[in-house]
Amino acid sequence: MLSMIFNHPYFRFFLALAIPAGILGLWFYAKYTAEQEVGITAKQIKKNPINDKILVDDYQLKEIDDLNHLRWRLVAAQGVTDPATRDVALKTVNVDYFDKGKIKIHLSAPVGVANEGTKAVELDAEKDQRVQAIGEEGKAKLEATKVELIKKNQFLATGGVNILWPGVAKVRGDKAEGSLASTDLKKLKIMGNTHALIGLGKEGG
């Protein structure tokens, strides 16, 4: 009886249809499962974008001049590097500029971004904490919302720039650019809505 059923033309016909249908069903199931897994992975990456980045505590970066002398050294409490762009997101940043091995200018900022390839550095304010640059022995002090450090000691400060020379003067402006080579920050140019107070007392007015 069973042999008659198995040998029946209709049974063979349905069996021939069932095999490719089963294979097709397995293919659709595998495709659906793969799409689900890809969807889950995409959600995980979106939820945790830092997974493909490198986090380093006590991050450091420095620049050397043409004579192999240390030009500046950056130290941050934390740095998160994007391998694709080599940009580093920084937290609690301190930068020291050197001249003949001695610190001439010290900068600090709550956050910033540096590029390990170009050595470009951007320091940014956060909430009520601004970017500060202080010359050796407090000869001058600069405050701004943003300070960009460019090659060869050049800088660009923007966003409510205040520059104080204790006991001498205080200058305000929208933007300042110049060199961080001197401890008194006199090699700079202040632009936009400038205002100056001259002859201040020791407290800076």
Domain boundaries, the chain: 1-49, 54-197
Q: pTM here?
A: 0.71
Query: Identity (one letter) of the amino acid at 154?
Result: Q
Query: Alpha-carbon distance 28 to 40, whole Å?
Result: 18
| Block mean pLDDT (10 aa), the chain, length 205 | 51 52 56 49 50 89 88 95 94 93 92 94 95 88 93 87 86 90 74 79 49
In CATH terms, the fold of domain 54-197 is lipopolysaccharide transport protein A fold (2.60.450)
Q: What is the pLDDT of residue 165?
A: 85
Instruction: Say if residues 192 and 173 touch (Cβ distance below 8 Å).
Output: yes
In sequence order, the β-bridge partners of residue 63 are 72
